[in-house]
Amino acid sequence: MTNKSMNVKVSEAKEHIPALVTMSTAEKAVHGKSLIGRLNNRIATVITDTVGTMWCAYMFVLLALVSLPDAIQSENPITIVGWCAQTFLQLVLLPIIIVGQNIQAEQSDKRAKTDHKTLTAVHTLTREIHQLSELTDKQLKINNTSERLQSIEEKLSLLLAKSN
């Protein structure tokens, strides 16, 4: 990495402002900010929130059990397996999987918010350290200049003393 490319990245880092990406930001990215996009987001969210509950899973169990007696009475193994796979598993597992994903998403959101707070604090402290470092560098340069001026004054004093 060249010095120039490092300087660009350092300057970009100095100007960086940490941002928290929220659910509303993500929703706008999926369907857009238009009225239709907001409507689509709302419909999808309501359906997901409704289907993604354990109460919905219990309702789907009851719904699936309605056709169980017919599947058993058919005494056809394919019908019974079909009921298990297509009716019960698909119908009941759908909301349970959504519930699990909602729990995982909530955990992820909480971690992201905590990480954001931590990274924002680290960013703030890093900027302060950088500012202090720049001040220290300036002070060192001033001190170095002062020492050099003092050395020149001493040499001038010696030269003046020799010339007198």
Q: Tens-of-pLDDT digits for all 164 residues of the chain?
A: 455 555 557 677 777 777 777 766 766 667 677 888 889 888 988 998 899 999 999 999 999 999 999 999 999 999 999 999 988 888 899 999 999 998 998 999 899 889 988 988 888 888 888 888 888 888 877 777 777 778 888 888 888 888 77
Check residue 17 and give its pLDDT.
75
Main-chain dihedrals φ then ψ at residue 32, nearest 5 degrees: 90, 180
What is the H or E stretch that residue 131 is in? helix 90-163
d(CA 102, CA 84): 25
Model's pTM, two decimal places? 0.57
Does residue 37 contact residue 28 with C-beta atoms inside 8 Å? yes
Check residue 76 and give its pLDDT.
94
d(CA 97, CA 161): 93
d(CA 133, CA 48): 52
d(CA 52, CA 46): 10
Does residue 71 contact residue 79 with C-beta atoms inside 8 Å? yes
Check residue 63 and give its pLDDT.
93
Main-chain dihedrals φ then ψ at residue 135, nearest 5 degrees: -65, -40
Does residue 92 contact residue 61 with C-beta atoms inside 8 Å? yes
What is the H or E stretch that residue 21 is in? none
Closest CA to 91 of 68, 57, 66: 57
3-state class of 40 per DSSP? helix
d(CA 77, CA 164): 122
d(CA 32, CA 41): 9
